[in-house]
């Protein structure tokens, strides 16, 4: 009995070590841009937190029904109406979605427990801009990233008077996650 318990612990420990090594390797190969400093990373665990508010973003865990209502145009928070731009399954980078400024929201159905790293980016002709920090999300749930005050990214490079945003999923690229985009 003790021998099988010890074998199980060794096996579980090696699995955790393998996953951490695999995550580190995936992180180091995930982007051609230089790695961000630790202060540019925000951690959020959907299993332990309901909401996280920073200067640039609000991250909320949402129920699948709330996500569906949001995609149908039903206002669930009474704080303004979000316009659904579209939705898709994302493996690495989403499609480009045009925003006229103000606020921008991405709802994500994260199917892995993570951690998964997300970065909102603004598409430009030569170098894409990172919008805010990288967000490391743990837990397998629906959540929303609400970016506040992103009007500074509106330019004339693409669609006149609009910013061209896309969500980069920097890890877990083998699994597609459903994402909905709102302006």
3-state secondary structure of 21: helix
Minimal CA–CA distance to 120: which of 80, 90, 141, 142? 90
By DSSP bridging, strand 97-99 and strand 163-169 are antiparallel
Structure confidence by residue, pLDDT tens digits, 16-39: 433 444 444 444 444 444 444 566
Q: Is 59 exposed, middle or buried (0-12, 13-18, 19+ CB in 10 A)?
A: buried
Structure confidence by residue, pLDDT tens digits, 136-165: 999 888 889 999 888 777 765 555 667 889
By DSSP bridging, strand 41-45 and strand 129-138 are parallel
Q: How far apart are CA 159 and CA 62, in angstroms?
A: 32
3-state secondary structure of 73: coil
Give this prediction's pTM. Answer: 0.69
User: How many CB atoms are located within 10 Å of the residue 112 CB?
Assistant: 15
pLDDT band at 72 (very low <50, low <70, confident <90, very high): low
């Amino acid at each position: 009995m003790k021998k099988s318990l010890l074998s199980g612990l060794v096996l579980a420990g090696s699995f955790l070590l393998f996953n951490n090594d695999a995550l580190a390797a995936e992180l180091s190969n995930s982007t051609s841009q230089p790695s961000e400093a630790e202060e540019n990373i925000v951690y959020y665990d959907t299993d332990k937190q309901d909401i996280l508010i920073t200067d640039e973003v609000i991250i909320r865990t949402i129920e699948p029904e709330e996500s569906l209502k949001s995609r149908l145009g039903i206002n669930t928070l009474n704080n303004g109406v979000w316009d659904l731009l579209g939705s898709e399954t994302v493996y690495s980078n989403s499609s480009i979605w045009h925003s006229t400024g103000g606020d921008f929201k991405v709802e994500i159905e994260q199917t892995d427990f993570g951690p998964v790293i997300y970065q909102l980016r603004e598409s430009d002709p030569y170098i894409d801009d990172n919008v805010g920090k990288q967000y490391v999300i743990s837990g397998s749930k629906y959540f929303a990233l609400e970016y506040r005050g992103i009007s500074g990214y509106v330019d004339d490079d693409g669609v006149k008077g609009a910013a061209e945003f896309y969500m980069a999923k920097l890890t877990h690229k083998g699994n597609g996650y459903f994402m909905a985009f709102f302006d």
